[in-house]
Every structure is written in structure tokens, then in C-alpha cells.
Structure 1
Amino acid sequence: MTAAYWYLDFAERQARGVSPTYERLARAVAGDDELLALLDTVPEPKRQPNLLFAVVQWLAGPVGDYGRFRAFVVSQWARVAAELRVRATQTNEIGRSALLLPVLAALPQPLALIEVGASAGLNLYPDRYSYRYGDVMLGSSGPQLDCAATGLTPPAALPEVVWRAGIDLNPLDITSPADRGWLEALIWPEHDHRRDRLRQAAAIAAADPPRLVRGDLVDELPALVAEAPADATRVVFHTSVLYQVPDPHRRAFIALTASLPVCWVAVEDPDIIEYADLPAPPGDGRHKNVLSLDGKPLAWTEGHGRSMSWFGA
């Protein structure tokens, strides 16, 4: 995939109607040969729109006007490229907990949660947030996560979580101002509600910091599963993570989940995890991920957890 195509696809299928600022930036970058040439000097996974825009925000650069944005990137390219090389899109979007909740609540309780690609671990607290699916409300504390769900009977209660841990190549410390600043830089400009939710979730996690293991998802997962209490349902989950994992290693991870005594819950792009007999997505032309349990697809989902279209049993 060329960088130009990546930015146009991002503008059309992810930012359109969701972030006018990022849609304008992405379309302009896609037609800017000089910026595209600069992006070609960093490894391909580091060229993605979300990462570039977040790095510019992290460096206190402008994103509201393309001319100023472009001038900043060109003049500060050494700093921008250095940050692109060492950072990742560890968005830790807690809205995705609303996508996971129907599956987690339906599993035998209590649960031991293991998140792969956990970032700061904020999605390890689905039992401490509040949710609204249409007219149905669950929970009474923490940030409220709204999800427009079709075809879904919302759960009647929150899951019971008795143990939680995560794995990440570069786990973020939710008590660190610098790490929290990077998480805020990853939030799109117009999304003040996401920034408010992040801060509320960060306060919950900081009061009871999650166990986060630094390392590779394949190497570290077996020991962490063995450590989890055997009298709980052990759940391995991840959301929009595997696209950052090289294909052979991704396949090794998927095979590993099938060999362990766990339930495997994924929210990923269907180009990343292939599913047989997948129904057509909702016809709005926007990018959709698939929610699945143990490799069985259940729903089409929006990337930040705003909506889901349930089709599974």
C-alpha cells in the first residue's frame, strides 16, 4: 500500500464525517509529493496517518491549517521522524469496551482478563465503566460509553472481573504525565468527549494500576495465562492491534490462542483476521472492524466503539 493510498483511504473511510480536521489533512498529504517522499524514509508501519498527526500534536505543532501543518512537518522533520520511529498508535480508546461488553458479560463468570496490545491498560476495566445502548443503561460510575447497537440485546449486568493483566511491547504508565500526554495526543482534534472519557478512565486506572508485562504477545502470553486464576474464565482480548504485527507472527499468535485454555475475543479489521461466511458490512462506506469470539464473527463495529451491527448468534 502506498502512503498516498493510505492517506486517501483514511480520509474517506475513517475521518470523513468524524474529524473534518484529519480528513482535510489526510487528503492534502495524499497529494503532497514532498511530504510523501519524507514519509517514505521511515518504515512503512510508521507512515500511518493517525501516527503522523498524533506526533505533530505531541510536538505542539499545528493541525488546524494544512499550510502551517506542512511547514511544521518539513522544517521539523528530524524531530518528527525520530518520534515516528519510536512511537505507536497506542490509542487505548475506552469506547471499545462497549464493543467487548456484550461478549464479556455472556461468558461464564467471573473473568480473568488478559489484554494484548494493552497500551496503558484502560480497557482492562470494563466492569468499572457505564454504558448506554440506545435506551438501555448499565453501570452507575466511571465514564459513560455510548454505543449505537443494532441487532443486539444488550447485557443485563456488567461482567465480574477478578483478575486483569496486559501485554505490550511498550506499556504506558497511566500515572506518568508524559504517557498520559501521548494518549491525549492520539485523540482526534474535535473529540473532546473522548478526551474527557480518557481522563475519567485514567483516574480509575491510576487508583488501581493494572499489571502490564513488557514483551512480545507470543512470547509472554502462555506464562500470563498460566498465572491467571484457574477458577475464572480466562479471556484473551485485543482491539485494533494485530495490524501492527507482521503477518507470520500474527498467524503464530492466532494459533497460540487456539492452543491455550482461554476464550479469545478480538475486534480487528477483516483483512487482518480472515473469516468464512462473513456478511456484508453496513453500506455506509466507512471502515469497519469485526468483533469475534474464538474465531467466530459476531458483529461489525466502528473503530472507536461508537456503533456496532450484530449479526452473530
Structure 2
Amino acid sequence: MVHARPMPDDAGRLVAYYEDFARRWAHGTSPLYEEWAAGIAANPDMIMRIGSLPPRLRQANLLFAAARWEGAPLNEYARWQSWLVENWDAVVATASVRATQTNEVGRCATLMPVLSRIDGRVALLEVGAAAGLCLLPDRYTYRYASPAGVHDLHPADGASDVVLTCRIDDARDAPARMPHVVWRAGIDLSPVDPADPDAIAWLATLIWPGPDHDARVARLRGAAAIAAADPPRVDTGDLLDRVTALAAESPAEATLVLFHSAVLLYLDAPSRARFASLALSLGERLGRRVVWLSNESAGTYPEVDAQVPADADTAHRFVQSVDGRAVALAGQHGAVYETRPFRNGATARDDA
């Protein structure tokens, strides 16, 4: 006998989440994921099915990657949904032991405009570090394209095999030098070993299908090889519990940069507020200079969203902030960095 699944209490919120994923994130960058997400949003049976899962397993990125890991065909929604229903238990089992740890190394290109302007020694502390690929910004080559031309930046020992390209709207944002990194460490609930082929294969599966993303897989594998040769320290733990103690281990004479990308959206609102308070007070508690560099999607911090110009396009972009001050729109995969909206005195949002 087949028992009907009850509609979850937050069904409307789940529908809105998948609609937003399709419209705001997958649209124009991954047609297949856009179709899958929109199909789920319009399908009450799938909403009930997904709504029966623990909140962590409802994430589109995790569900889609787990399905692909188990062999889901990259087909139109109807055929994919039939496969998913037939293989539901296996997909849920995979999602239960995996996590959304994309570790997009391309984001380093949007961190560099801030990091390169910090004088003296720099200590890097990343929360949600996964394999630590973004803890190695000084080991990649960068190519910035601006209205004034192309600017390349290489590591001190020469050009890297991993080249990160980024379009900037203001030539003044092109980094003139690499940061002098003297210490680096990360925190993650489930650190990833960059030398583990299975772990890197999972990170590759988390990259969305589509021509816009093919180059990301090659970048990931290249960066993982660099990390495997000299792995950065990534501690296991909760970012709220571990960040202060780990920060205290960094060299006192270095400027500590506490940073993250697409991490805080996985916390609830009270936890995000707690982290913001912790980050903003960390320098005072440690008695030294601390820079809080955040790359998060709009909606993570209303106080930061309120600083974004009303006409700014935040699709496929994070709002980058430094110590709680919005400074740029950063492409979710590092391909775009825009600061002009914050330099032109545009009107901030009224509804943030």
C-alpha cells in the first residue's frame, strides 16, 4: 500500500526557494538546473517528497549533485524526475553523507582586490574552507579585464597553471601585487583532503552542468593539485565555536583577514547575527587589526543589503562587504567584480 506524503508546513517557502534558485541563480548559466528547479517548484509531489527530508537535505545544489553522483541522466525534467523517484533512497543516502562544499577557487579573483591592498604581513582565516583552495590566493595567476585593458598578476615564483579570469568595471580595482601571506588556516564541518580523488570528484560533481561551467572543473582539479602539494591547515569544527581560538593562533604582527564565500546562507538568522557580532569584535578582543571580508548572497545580512544601490543587478552575484560595509558585487564564481555602483553615490534600497 502506498501512503500519501503530507504536504510540509513550509511548502510555500520550499516552492519559493526552488523558484528563486531557477530564476535568480540557474537562469542564464545552467539551463538544465533551471529546468529541474522550476519543475520541482511546480510539482506538489516533489515538494512533499523533498519537504519530508531534514532541512539540510532540501538544498537544490546538494540534491542535484547527489542525483548526478548516483548516475542521474542529464535529461529534461520529466525524465529526470522519473529517474529520481525510482532512485530516491540512493540519492538521499548520498546526500546524507555529503555536503555542499563547492570550494570555487575562481572566487579568489574577487578577494584579491581587497587582499592586495593590505600592507605588510597577512594571515588568512577562512570559515567554510572545504579543501582550502581559497586559502591559496597567492599561488594562482589572475587575468583582469577592464575598460582600460587587461592586467595580469602572477605568483612570486612565476605564472601558475591555474589562471583565474575576472571582468572588472574599474581598472583601479586590478590588484598591483600579491598579498604577503605568512599564515593560513580554515574551519569546516567536514574538511576535504585535496589529495583524495573521491573527495575532489564530489566537488567536481557539485559544479553545475552547462558550458559556462566546464572550465570550472578544470580549475578545481588544477587548484586541488596545488593544494595537495602543500595543503593548508583546515580544522574540523563549527565556525561559531572555533573561529576565536584559531584566530588567536595567527601571528600577532600580521593583519588577520577573516573571510568566507557562500557560507553564511547555510546558517539561520540568529546564527548569522552572532557571527557578525563575533567578526566585528574580533580585533578588539585579540588586540590587533582584523579585516572581515564577506562574499554572501543578497538576503544574508539586511544591514549590508541596505547599502546596495536600488538599481544594482545582484543576479549571479554576491554582495561583498568589508567590516560590514558593502564595497562590490562579486560574481558567484569569480568572473565579475563591480565597484562602480558603490562609487557613484547611487540611492540605496528602500526595501532592504
What is the TM-score normalised by the length of structure 1?
A: 0.94
Select 2:254's aligned residue among 232, 245, 250.
232
Select 1:310's aligned residue among 333, 339, 344.
339
Select 2:312's aligned residue among 282, 306, 312.
282
2:53 partner letter? V
Distance 1:85 1:150 in 2: 41
Distance 2:171 2:98 in 1: 36
Structure 1, 55-64 or 101-110: larger mean CA deviation: 55-64
Whether contact under 8 Å (1:111, 1:162) holds in the other structure is: yes
Query: Post-superposition shift, 1:151?
Result: 3.0
2:309 partner letter? P
Structure 1 pair 223–281 and aligned structure 2 pair: CA distance change class (3 A)? farther
1:60 corresponds to: 71
- Does 1:301 pair with 2:330? yes
Distance 2:311 2:151 in 1: 24
1:138 corresponds to: 153
Instruction: Tell me the alpha carbon deviations over residues 236-283 of structure 1, each in whole angstroms, 9 at most, x when there is no partner.
Output: 100010010122222111111122122110001231122243223534
2:280 corresponds to: 258
Instruction: Tell me the alpha carbon deviations over residues 11-48 of structure 1, each in whole angstroms, 9 at most, x when there is no partner.
Output: 11111111111112122222222222110011234212
Distance 1:23 1:162 in 2: 42
Structure 1, 113-122 or 252-261: larger mean CA deviation: 252-261
- Does 1:172 pair with 2:192? yes
Helix, strand or coil at the partner of 1:185: helix
Helix, strand or coil at the partner of 1:227: coil
2:169 corresponds to: 150
Structure 1 pair 17–277 and aligned structure 2 pair: CA distance change class (3 A)? closer
1:212 corresponds to: 234
Structure 1: runs of 5 or more not aligned: none
- What pairs with 1:1-313 in structure 2 (closer than 5 Å)? 2-134=13-145, 135-139=150-154, 140-153=159-172, 154-190=174-210, 191-261=213-283, 262-274=290-302, 275=304, 276-280=306-310, 282-283=312-313, 286-311=315-340, 312=342
Whether contact under 8 Å (1:130, 1:145) holds in the other structure is: yes
Helix, strand or coil at the partner of 1:54: helix
Aligned length: 312
Distance 2:120 2:35 in 1: 46
Helix, strand or coil at the partner of 1:220: helix
Identity %: 45
Structure 2: runs of 5 or more not aligned: 1-11, 284-289, 344-352
Max radius of gyration: which structure?
Answer: 2
